Amino acid sequence: MIDTTEIQPNAAAGFRVEHRTPPERLDVLSREILQLKEELNAVILAHNYQVPEIQDLADYVGDSLGLSRQAAETDAAVIVFCGVHFMAETAKILSPKKTVLLPDRDAGCSLEESCPPDKLRALQATNPNFYTIAYVNCSAEVKALSDVICTSGNAKKIVEAAPADRDLLFVPDENLGAWVTEQTARPMTLWQGDCYVHVEWTHENVTRIRREHPDAPLVAHPECTKAVRMLADEVCSTEKMVNFCRDSRAKAVIIATEVGMLHRLQKECPDKQFIPAPTEKCVCNECRFMKMNTLEKLHDCMANRTPEVTLDDTIIERARQPIERMLEISAR
Ligand code: 13P
Ligand code: SF4
């Protein structure tokens, strides 16, 4: 991470996301990974926050919604999931007969941690009329306790489709939940969880970078706080950020989400300049969980077929229904 005290006012404008793998290892590892992919009949799925070298050799790079769709549709025997644990679990739930590999078993998520299944069960017991909508950033067990799942890419649509006579309970991200309530006017009980990365941006810091780049629109992820979302020209999922930036006539865009996104944006829109919104601590806010996956670990997990993501059959069966409900509503 870069200390903001060392950053000159406009230095962030030339920001690029760097490779982590030493150049002498990059070619060898990439070649071997592609070879292993053939041998295993595998597909490599990567989230938009993964390190550049993983994004560059993945078969598909996208947001949680796109990754779920890919996991449900692939013909490959093995899904190598370069993302965090709940995403790999979702792939396993949608394709239970396939082997799902995750380069680092400890790649978790602060939102998932904030919502233990026992606590959710206890809250649900207080109101039998609750209809539970779970943001996909939660454990398989929490999904199994929910009526429907959503991602940042379809949350509005999922909430709009919820039965009108039920009391909505939204878990575990209170910021995403509050953003959806603002758009749908549907009151919801919100679980008090947040993404430790996205709550780092403040109104003050984001206002400062906007003043430095008055012509650059600001795009923010809905996991940001309201104080930041209210400054944004667009609030959307990581995949929709790509569409917004492609369609925008602006030459520079300020991005308030995990810094890995900038690699994807630079590839998709090479003529545009992307400016990471700074926080108090740094200019390149990183998710420590997403960054646990490295090219070396990707190589080793394919060579050794471990760590593998496995789940209890009962959990798979229960969690599958709300995820399939989401995919069905999302496709309407
Ligand atoms: P997206 O589905 O928008 O990519 O978000 C996933 C995530 O973990 C955001 O922090
Ligand atoms: Fe979880 Fe936040 Fe990391 Fe996304 S960025 S995986 S919400 S901790």
CATH number at residue 87: 3.40.50.10800
pLDDT surpassing 90 at residue 2: no
Cis omega (within 30 of 0) for bond into 187:
no
- The reported pLDDT for the residue numbered 237 is 97
Residues 265 and 186 in one domain: no
Residue 3 has pLDDT above 80, yes or no: no
Whether residue 104 sits in one domain with residue 75: yes
Is the predicted pLDDT of residue 13 greater than 60, yes or no? no
Beta bridge partners of residue 58, listed in sequence order? none
Q: For residue 280, what pLDDT is reported?
A: 84
User: Do 84 and 127 reside in the same domain of the chain?
Assistant: no
- Give strand pairing partners of 47: 62
**Percent of the chain topping pLDDT 70:** 95
Residue 220 reports pLDDT greater than 80: yes
The answer to whether the bond into 172 is cis (omega within 30° of 0) is yes
Is residue 323 situated within a structural domain?
no
Counting Cα atoms < 13 Å in the Cβ hemisphere of 198 gives 29
**The tokens of 265 are what?**
């944006």
Indicate whether 215 and 163 sit together in one domain. Answer: no
Mean predicted confidence (pLDDT) in 147-166: 98
Quote the CA–CA distance of 43 and 224 in Å, as a whole number: 32
Residue nearest to atom 2 of ligand 2 (CA): 195
38 within some domain: yes
Within a domain: 318:
no
Could you report the per-residue pLDDT of 298-317, keeping only the tens digit for each? Answer: 999 999 999 999 999 999 99
**For residue 324, is it within any domain?**
no
Q: Measure Cα distances from 146 to 169, 286, 298 in Å.
A: 9, 29, 32
pLDDT of residue 216: 98
**Poorest-pLDDT segment among 22-26, 132-136, 164-168, 200-204:** 22-26
Verify that 26 and 116 share a domain, yes or no. no
At residue 4, does pLDDT exceed 60? no
Query: Counting atoms of ligand 2 from 1, which one is nearest the CA of 223?
Result: 7
Q: Which ligand 2 atom is the nearest neighbour of the CA of 109?
A: 1
pLDDT at 282: 73
**C-beta of 196 in contact with ligand 2 (< 6 A):** yes
Task: Mark whether 175 and 256 lie in a shared domain.
Answer: no
Q: Please state the rounded mean pLDDT for residues 118-145.
A: 98
Q: What is the mean pLDDT of the chain?
A: 94
Domain annotation covers residue 210: yes
Q: Indicate the top mutation candidate among 287, 291, 293 to test ligand 2's pocket, ranked by most ligand atoms within 8 A of CB.
A: 287
Q: Which whole-number Å values give the CA distances from 38 to 31, 79, 259, in the listed order?
A: 11, 12, 31
60 and 122 share a domain? Answer: no
Q: Are residues 104 and 124 in the same domain?
A: no
Kindly state the tokens that stand for 244.
């917004």
Is residue 319 domain-resident? no
Q: Using alpha carbons only, how large is the chain's radius of gyration in Å?
A: 20
Does residue 144 share a domain with residue 210? Answer: no
Residues 139 and 231 in one domain: no
**Per the structure, how many domains does the chain have?**
3
Q: What is the mean pLDDT of residues 271-281?
A: 92
Answer yes or no: is 242 within a domain: yes
Are residues 44 and 66 located together in one domain of the fold? yes
Cα 25 from Cα 298, distance rounded (Å) = 13
Does 182 lie in the same domain as 164? yes
Does position 14 have pLDDT exceeding 80, yes or no?
A: no
What is the pLDDT confidence band of residue 15, given thresholds at 50, 70 and 90? confident
Range of the domain at 51: 4-109+289-304
Ligand minimally distant from the alpha carbon of residue 219: 1
